[in-house]
Amino acid sequence: MKFYSTNDPAHRADLPEALFRGLPADNGLYMPERLDPLPAAFFAELPDLSFQEIAYRISAHLLGDDVPAEDLKALVYDAVNFPAPVVKLDDQRYVLELFHGPSLAFKDFGARFMSRLMGHFNRGNERQLVILVATSGDTGGAVAAGFYQTPGIEVVILYPKGKVSLLQEKQLTTLGHNIHALEVDGTFDDCQAIVKKAFLDEQLRSDIRLSSANSINISRLIPQAFYYFEAYKQLGATGDPVVFCVPSGNFGNLTAGLLAQRMGLPVHHFLAATNRNDVVPAYLQTGVYQPRPSVATLSNAMDVGAPSNFARMLNLYGHLNGKDPHAPATHAAMQSLITGYAYDDAATEAAGREVEERFGYVIDPHGAVGYLALTEWQKEHPATRGVILETAHPSKFKPDVERILGHSIEVPERLAELEHREKVAIPLGTDYEPVRDWLRERFV
């Protein structure tokens, strides 16, 4: 499989280059050159396939012979070794729980798959690999867990000071060993901008072997398509059309759903649910894309004002050169399949209480935003089965969830044990140069 840049469809890279480079030199994003539908036999067998086998077959379909079949199967089965259960709220609403991995967030799927794929291609390479990643909350913990003590790989995580939950912060600042945390006195967008500058710094890249673990890296995105097929399998093909409601910040999760649909998954519609950082819902409504500084909310993983994966979404709907102006046809095509919604913190809190009162289910603030969007959409489209992606365990936002619900909630042991560990992080501002200098001092 070859991968092209969203800023230049003529640019091509093989899997190892796209994997390790992360970002093309033209500041685009890599996309697979083919998104052929999976064979009919796959969908006929889908009800009887394990989650791991589904993940392997999708990987083989996308990556072809880039990884020997036995090696690919082994790394996929090792990466996807935890479930993604669908929980029924009522006949029209379901929750896809994506928090059963090591860091209790959906990003475990991508981080574990990527770490094992990088490990496969990195074998025998004596030059140290440095993973540079920005996080708005859950990415950092998942990447830290996924790459922890991986030989030959160091991980540097940039996160916004005071804008992630206590337990999220502990997940990425307490492991040590090959995991390093940089605490940026700014927003997620500032962290992301620093990471992008590093990847476009050819001098730095000649001195340090850099790669990314954000969803700007195509290998993080591919495995996020796995659980859309797994959810559809659990619901069954018989019944009302299936709608996926995706709480979205950087929009990698939604983009993965669009990839799944291109591979033949019969998704009726997607809902892009977010908080006050509503640049994509605003685009879907008006056709005008206006990135802006992010604002802090209860659902902090969605506090993104300039979502990177929006470029991939545009590309899927005909915007083949990201340097060209947005075309009305692209907006119309995207709008026909995706509806955007945005809610403030007050509505999010009310939704969290409603979900527990009506269904006895404790939902996190991101899932609560998804519940609001699905409920609103189904008022006009009742004959559908809606699946809310519950992207993180509610205990990762324990103080807010307990305040909202008025009672304590259970914290899984692997998260609770982090609470009293000592935080280790390097404080930095929002300028690129100090980060560059720290990277040089540490890794050159």
Q: pLDDT (tens digit, 9 = 90+) per residue, 346-378? A: 999 999 999 999 999 999 999 999 999 999 999
Q: What mean pLDDT comes out for the span 240-255?
A: 95
The average pLDDT across 5-10 equals 92
Give the helix ranges, DSSP H, for 222-341.
226-235, 252-262, 279-286, 310-316, 328-337
pLDDT at 443: 94
Residue 360 is predicted with a pLDDT of 97
Strands 86-88, 30-32: parallel, antiparallel or unpaired by DSSP?
unpaired
Residues with Cβ within 8 Å of residue 272, at least 6 apart in sequence: 246, 248, 251, 254, 280, 281, 284, 338, 339, 340, 341, 373
Decide: helix, strand or coil at residue 22. coil
Angstrom CA distances, 367 to 185, 221, 247, stand at 27, 20, 7
Per-residue pLDDT tens for 401-435? 999 999 999 999 888 888 788 999 999 999 999 99
pLDDT of residue 400: 95
CA-wise closest residue to 353 among 412, 401, 411, 301: 401
Q: What is the mean pLDDT of residues 138-157?
A: 89
Q: CB–CB of 176/141 below 8 Å? A: no
Residue 129: what pLDDT?
A: 92
Distances (CA, A) of 191 to 66, 163, 305, 351: 32, 12, 12, 30
**Residue 14: pLDDT above 90?**
yes
- The pLDDT, as a whole number, for residue 390 is 98
From the list 292, 295, 241, the residue with the least C-alpha distance to 270 is 241
Q: How far apart are the first and last CA of the chain?
A: 33
For the cut 90, the answer to whether the pLDDT of residue 166 exceeds it is no
Sign of CA dihedral 14, 18, 20, 21: positive
pLDDT of residue 414: 83
**Helices 345-359 & 398-405, crossing angle to 10 degrees?**
70
Q: What percent of the chain has pLDDT over 70?
A: 100
Contact 305, 279 (CB under 8 A): yes
Contact of 157 with 135, CB cutoff 8 Å: yes
Pairing mode of beta strands 93-97, 86-88: antiparallel
Q: CB–CB of 376/342 below 8 Å?
A: no
* DSSP symbol at 50: -
* Pair type for strands 8-14 and 2-5: antiparallel
CATH code for the part of the protein at 83-105+221-409: 3.40.50.1100
Q: Tokens for 149, please give them.
A: 């003590």
Radius of gyration of the chain (CA): 20
- Residue 387: the pLDDT is 98
What dihedral angle (degrees, nearest 10) is formed by the CA atoms of 422, 416, 275, 381? 160
pLDDT, position 350: 98
pLDDT number for residue 201? 93
* Nearby residues of 53 by Cβ (< 8 Å), 6 or more positions away: none
* Between 270 and 320, residue with greater pLDDT: 270
Contact between 24 and 11 (Cβ < 8 Å):
yes
Contacts of 403 (CB under 8 A, 6+ apart): none
pLDDT at 138 over 80: no
**Rounded mean pLDDT, 157-169:** 90
- pLDDT, mean of residues 306-322: 90
Q: Can you say whether the dihedral through the CA atoms of 393, 397, 401, 404 is positive or negative?
A: negative
Q: What angle do CA 421, 158, 293 make, to 5 degrees?
A: 125
pLDDT at 215 over 80: no
Round to whole Å and give the CA distance between 122 and 216.
20
CA angle, residues 187, 191, 192, in degrees to nearest 5: 115
